[in-house]
A and B are shown apart, each in its own frame.
Chain A
C-alpha cells in the first residue's frame, strides 16, 4: 500500500495545497493591489511548475529538450499575446 503513495507526489500535493491557501490569502487578508497581484503571480507560476515537474514528468525522457522548448515557447507566446493585447487596447493610450 505504501509504495502506491510515493513521498515526492504526496509532498507535491501538500505543497500545491499550501500554495492555494497562500493565494487565498489575497481574498481573506486585507492588502494592497500590488502585493496581492505579486502573491498571485508567484503562487500561480510556482504551482504550474510543480505540476509540470512533479506530476507531468516533463524532464524524464530523452525529449526533455523538445518538451521544455515547447513549453517555454508556449509561455512566451502566451505572455506576448496577453500583455501585447493589453498594451495595445488598454494601456497604451
Chain B
C-alpha cells in the first residue's frame, strides 16, 4: 500500500513533467545545437524510464508478495546464494544500456562541439563575449561595435562566440540555442551555435560568480539577416565610441543595463593568449602535441 503511494505520486509527477516538456526552455530549441541536446535529453529520459519502471514494478511485487503479513506464520525463508544467469542479466542489461547511451553521447558531443549542422560551409560570424562582475560584454570585431548585456545575431548563419572573463569563471548559457561553456580569465573558449528562428532568447551566466550572479543575464535577439544588417548600420551611425576609460568604468563590479558602443575593447584590452594560464607550447611540448594529434587521429579512424 505504502509503496504504491510513492509509485503513483512519482509516476504522476513524471507525467506532469513529460507534458510540460515542450514548454520547458531547454526542450524548446531554436537552433541545431540545442536541438541535438534536447533530442539527447529526451532519448535518455525514455531509456531511463524503462529502468525506473522495471525497478518499481519489481520492488512493489516483492514488497506485496513477500510481506510477512501475507505469509504463513511458520514460513521460513530459504537460503539462496545467487544465480549465475540472474547475475549475467543484471550486469548485461545495464552494460547494453550504457553502450547505447555512450554511442549517443560521443556522437552528440562531437556534434555540439563542432560547427552547427547544416551550416558547415558558411562563414561564421565571430562575436567575443566577455564576462565581468556581473555583466556580459559583446564585441563584434568585424562590424566594429560593442554591446553590453545584449547581443543581436543573424538567423541562419553560424555564430562563433569567443568566451573569456574578467574575473571569476562564468558559464555562458543560452539554453534555447546551445549548451553552456565556461568563460575564463586565462583562456579563450569557442562556442558554436546558430539560430534557425528569429526571436528573443534568454541568456545568462550559469556559474556562480558572487553577489550579483543572479542578475548576470543578457538578451539574445535573432534577426533575419537583412534586419540584422540594418541594426548594425544603425549602431555604427548612432552609438558613442568605446574608450579605454569608459571600458574600465564598465568593468567595475556592479550591474548595468543594456549599452551600445562603436569600436571594441579588443584593441586596448585584448583577450587572453594563454592556455589555462600557461604559455602556449615551446619546444619541449612537441611530444605532447604529437601525442594529442595522434590520439585525435585514432579517434577519427
Tell me the A residues contacting B by CB distance below 8 Å: 33-34, 37, 86, 89-93
Which of A33, A34, A91 is the one whose CB lies under 8 Å from B292?
A91
10 A-B pairs, CB-CB below 8 angstroms?
A: A33-B286, A37-B287, A90-B278, A90-B288, A91-B291, A91-B292, A91-B295, A92-B292, A93-B275, A93-B292
Q: In the complex, which range does the number of interface residues on chain B fall in?
A: 10 to 19
Question: B284 contacts the other chain (Cβ, under 8 Å)?
Answer: yes
Q: What residues of chain B lie closer than 8 Å to A92, measured between beta carbons? A: 292
In the complex, A92 Cα to B292 Cα: how many Å? 7
Question: B276 contacts the other chain (Cβ, under 8 Å)?
Answer: yes
Count: A-B pairs, CB below 8 Å: 18
Give the interface SS of chain B, mostly helix, strand, loop or mixed.
helix
In the complex, A68 Cα to B298 Cα: how many Å? 35
Q: What residues of chain A lie closer than 8 Å to B288, measured between beta carbons? A: 86, 90-91
Q: Chain A nearest CB: distance from B120 CB in Å?
A: 21
Per the 8 Å Cβ criterion, residues 248-301 of B in contact with A are: 275-276, 278, 284, 286-288, 291-292, 295
| Chain A residue at minimum C-beta to C-beta distance from B290 | A34
State whether B275 touches A34 (Cβ < 8 A). Answer: no
Per the 8 Å Cβ criterion, residues 93-117 of B in contact with A are: none
| Chain B residue at minimum C-beta to C-beta distance from A86 | B288
Q: Chain A nearest CB: distance from B57 CB in Å?
A: 39
Q: Chain A nearest CB: distance from B242 CB in Å?
A: 31
Q: What residues of chain A lie closer than 8 Å to B278, measured between beta carbons? A: 90
In the complex, A92 Cα to B275 Cα: how many Å? 12
State whether B276 touches A90 (Cβ < 8 A). Answer: yes
State whether B276 touches A89 (Cβ < 8 A). Answer: yes
Q: What residues of chain B lie closer than 8 Å to A93, measured between beta carbons? A: 275, 292
Q: What residues of chain B lie closer than 8 Å to A37, measured between beta carbons? A: 287
State whether B287 touches A33 (Cβ < 8 A). Answer: yes
In the complex, A86 Cα to B278 Cα: how many Å? 12
Q: Chain A nearest CB: distance from B169 CB in Å?
A: 14
In the complex, A89 Cα to B276 Cα: how many Å? 7
In the complex, A34 Cα to B286 Cα: how many Å? 10
